[in-house]
Structure formats: structure tokens, C-alpha cells
A and B are shown apart, each in its own frame.
Chain A
Amino acid sequence: MALVAPALAIVIAFFALPAVRLIATGASGPLGWRAYAAVLVQPRYATSLVETIVISAATTLAALALAGTLAVIVARARFPGRAALIAALTLPLAFPGVVVGFLVIAMGGRIGIVNAISSALGGPRIVFAYSLVGLFVGYLYFSLPRVFLTMLGAAEQLDASLEDAARSLGARPWQVVRDVLLPGLQPALIAAGAICFATAMGAFGTAFTLATRLDVLPMVIYTAFTLDADIATAATLSVVLGVVTWATLLLARNATGAETAAAG
């Protein structure tokens, strides 16, 4: 018991107690505990919550499709420089959201690469960094390496002879994907997707750097806390956000847990 004391003390002092306090603060506004129900129907916050869920879901689907495909490609191929390719694809793992926001500006800002190439070719002015597209590109950039790493691990564990068997039995390529690859990768897809979604829901740095007027939930919370000094609302929204991300991960784990049990 003494061995777990330091970890337990940290989690209780810096998470459990503050979380209880935050939940109480969320109910300290004029509405009391009803504030939690109220933020879900109040148009400004409800819209923000829906927008955040939509952009996070879009990011998750795009990241799973792209990183999942790449993971299968890299897992099956053997070529010189493979290790370097994996290193290149996972390098941005260490970049925080703020830095990713800056890289989006380097791509799609006023003097970004895309605009430079377009104007050099006599094309139109293309600036997307500060719009919804820029935010999506940033979230995708942030998620790709993480999802790729999880999917690569799963794809390497998958028995390649199953695909060969399906092919030799006359399965078309799309049938191999549908009937062999996707079922085999499903637990990893769910796990990586859930983490990707939860991370995107709470992402703050990218939106902060892009300084867009997009009301993703973390930006709304930040604005409520700092500019409006509406600490009760900031707390209510934080608790809602935390519950959404935590529940997503819990659901995903139960789903993959059931999956593994069924397979075993």
C-alpha cells in the first residue's frame, strides 16, 4: 500500500479533489445544478458543442482512413529506408497544438506554400489557414502520426497469409479490404478513433494559434474564463467536455474489450 501512496496522493490532490470542486463551481451560477442541463440547450453553447463534435468526428474519419491505409501499406512493404519513412510519419508526435497551428499558417497562411505555388502558376489567391478548413487541416496533422502508430502496430500483427488466402480464393481487392482487413483491424480502428476524437474535442492550442473566430468548445471555455470572467459557465462547460471525452474512451474500450473476448 505504501508503494502506491505517492501516485494515489498525486491523483487525489491534483485531480479528484479539484474535479469535485470544479463540478461544484459549475453549479455555483444563478441556475444552480440546472446549469448543466441549461448549457446543452442554450443556442450559443449547444451550437459550439455540435460544431466541436462535427469537426472532431470529421478529423477522426479522415485520420483513420488516411493513416489506416498508410499503416497497411507500410506494414506489408519491405524496402530500404522503411525505418526512415516510419520516423518521418511519426515525427510530428512531439509537436504541440500551438506549433501545429503555426505549421498550418506556413501551409495555408497569407505567405504560405499553397498560396505561393498558386500565385507562381498564375492561379487564384488561396488562404485557408484561418478558416474551418485550416482548423481541420491542423487537427488532421496532429492526429495522423498518432493514429498511424496505433494502426501500424495492429497491421503488423495481422496475418498477411489471410489476405493471400482470400485473394487466391478469388476475392476482389475491395472484398479483401471489407472481409479481411477491416474486421482484423477493427479493434485498433475503434481504439485509435476514440483517442483521436477525444483529443480533437479537447484541442486548444491549434485553434488558439489560428486565432479564428470559430467557436470550438475549448475556445468558448477559455473566453468565458478569461474575457468574461464567467467562471461558473467555464466550469460547467469544462465538466461537460470532460464527460464527453471520458465517456467516448470508456465506450470504445468496452467495445474493443467485448471484441477481444468474442475473438478469444
Chain B
Amino acid sequence: MKPARLAAILLTVATVAFLLVPVALSILVGFETDASDGPLGGLTLRWFAQVWSDDGATVGRSLTIAVVTTAVVALAGVPLAYVLATARRRWARVLEELVAVPIAVPGLALALALIEAYGGWGAFRGSSWFIVCGHVLFTLPFLTRSVLAALASSDLETLEAAAAALGAGPAQRFRDVVLPLARPGLVTGALMVFTLSIGEFNLTWMLHTPLTPTLPVGLADAYASLRLEVASAYTTLFFVIVVPVLLVLQWIARRTQARGVV
């Protein structure tokens, strides 16, 4: 074997180990009776039961926030992407820039700005809606870009013109032409938004209250104050929720790419 090839294989294996061994280890520790004894010291489901009974509501809240965020972002992002895909005017580019700025600004700064502006509105500040606002702001550009890419790679304008010539009104064109063309981008974008929302911490740590913790907030608390086995079980629970969504995303990306080649 040529040395360059061997080096390439070693580098790849080392990186995969760097990324996955800690994940495997923290999953394993979640099942161990005592982390200092290792897996041979006995296995248990006790820590998972503890996390579920203490923080099941937190997990539920995170899932709800992620679903609501995805819905709101889809409702606002699809029409926006449609306008950006068809408008040739300068203001459309300005709008595209404006919507994308929140990605460039650290979550901590976005959260402080939200607290400064709306912290005084007690009921709103104390509700999960406050967190949803932050998540919507942060994830909107991702879905918009994804849908925009799908529309840009399609023959949107010709198809819409054809539909109009055949007598379809704006609403019917949006439903029967724009939405089907946007769908691949919408699916990818929505899954991305869901994953981002479930894992969002930088904003959420500032926006949550003791009554509205989310999954990453619960994780941070577990890391700071609970025993390693419980923290590991909690982390594993997070993996169980988020990894399947990610695998579906990767599968869609592969399928799209394969189709693109053919």
C-alpha cells in the first residue's frame, strides 16, 4: 500500500474515532450502575427512568417548541422564498440580506436584544412563546434558503406563466405549481429547523425561565449538578430524538444528489 493512501486511511479513521468514541462512551455510561466501575460493574436502566420522571415534561416542551417553530417558519418562509425567487428588484436582495442577518449574530446577543425589548412584558417573557420567537428568528433563514434553492433549480416562471395562461388564479397557482416545486426544499428545511430548535442553547439559556426549561437547558443543568451516569442517560435521550431526524436529512440529501447525477 502506498504511504499516501495509508496516511489518508489513518487520518479518516482517527477523525471518525474522535467524533464517535465520546458519543459511544457517553451512551454506555448512561447504562452503567457506577461509572467508575465501568460496564462490568453492572448495567441498569435506573438513570433513564430518573431522567424521564424528572424531566419528561422538559422533553415534551422542547418537542412542542420545535414543532411550533417549524410550523411558523414554514408559514413565513415559503411565501418569502417564493417572492425572493421571482422578484428581480433590488429591494428583494435587501430583504434577503435582512432576513439572513440573525444567522450572523451570536445567539447570546439576539437573546439579550429580545430581553431588552420585551423583558417587561411579564406573561410573554415567562411563556414558551418567548423561546419560540427566538427560535423562529434564528431558523427562518435556513428554511427560506432551502426552499429558495428548490424553487431556483425549477422552471418556476415558465410553469407559472403556463398555469396563468390556462386560467389559474394566483391562489390556485400557489397551491398547484409553487408548493409542489417548493416541497423538496420545504421538507429538508423543516427537518433542519426542527433539529436546530431541539438543540438550541445559546438563545434559549437566556430566554427560558425556571418554569420553561427546554432539553438543552435540562442537559446543562444535569452536567452542572447531577451525577455522571444521569447526565449520560440524559444525553443519550437527546441523541435518540435528534439522530434519526439527522439520518433522514442525510438520506434525502444523498437521494437528491444521486438523482442530480442521473
B113 touches A204 (CB 8 A): no
Other than the given A22-B109, A87-B247, A99-B235, 17 more pairs (CB < 8 A) read A3-B80, A4-B79, A6-B79, A7-B79, A8-B95, A18-B117, A74-B12, A94-B245, A105-B223, A198-B104, A201-B106, A208-B205, A221-B108, A221-B109, A225-B112, A235-B116, A241-B106
A90-107 near B? 1/0 per residue, CB < 8 Å? 111111111101111111
* Cβ of B149 to closest chain A Cβ, rounded Å: 12
- Give the number of chain A interface residues (Cβ < 8 Å): 75
Q: Which of A69, A113, A144, A234 contacts B19 (CB 8 A)?
A: A144
4 closest A-B pairs by beta carbon, nearest first, are A202-B106, A18-B113, A238-B109, A3-B79
B18 touches A15 (CB 8 A): no
A258 to B132, CA, bound (A): 37
B20 touches A204 (CB 8 A): no
A8 to B144, CA, bound (A): 13
A239 to B106, CA, bound (A): 10
A residues 59-103 near B (Cβ < 8 Å) are: 66, 69-70, 73-74, 77, 83, 85-99, 101-103
* Cβ of A224 to closest chain B Cβ, rounded Å: 10
Q: Which of B80, B102, B134, B228 contacts A111 (CB 8 A)?
A: B228
B99 touches A204 (CB 8 A): no
Chain A residues with a Cβ under 8 A of chain B: 3-4, 6-8, 10-11, 14-19, 21-22, 25, 66, 69-70, 73-74, 77, 83, 85-99, 101-107, 111, 113, 141, 144-145, 173, 198, 201-205, 208-209, 211, 218, 221-222, 225, 231, 234-235, 238-239, 241-242, 245-246, 249-250
Find the B residue at minimum CB distance from A87. B250
B4 touches A14 (CB 8 A): no
A10 to B76, CA, bound (A): 8
The interface size bin for chain B is 35 or more
Residue B163 is within 8 A (CB to CB) of chain A in the complex: no
B19 touches A11 (CB 8 A): no
* Cβ of A106 to closest chain B Cβ, rounded Å: 4
B216 touches A98 (CB 8 A): yes
Q: Which of A7, A14, A98, A241 contacts B80 (CB 8 A)?
A: A7
Contacts of A107 in B (CB 8 A): 21-22
B107 touches A73 (CB 8 A): no
* Cβ of B37 to closest chain A Cβ, rounded Å: 11
B246 touches A93 (CB 8 A): yes
Find the B residue at minimum CB distance from A249. B104
* Cβ of A73 to closest chain B Cβ, rounded Å: 5
Q: Which of A3, A83, A102 contacts B26 (CB 8 A)?
A: A102
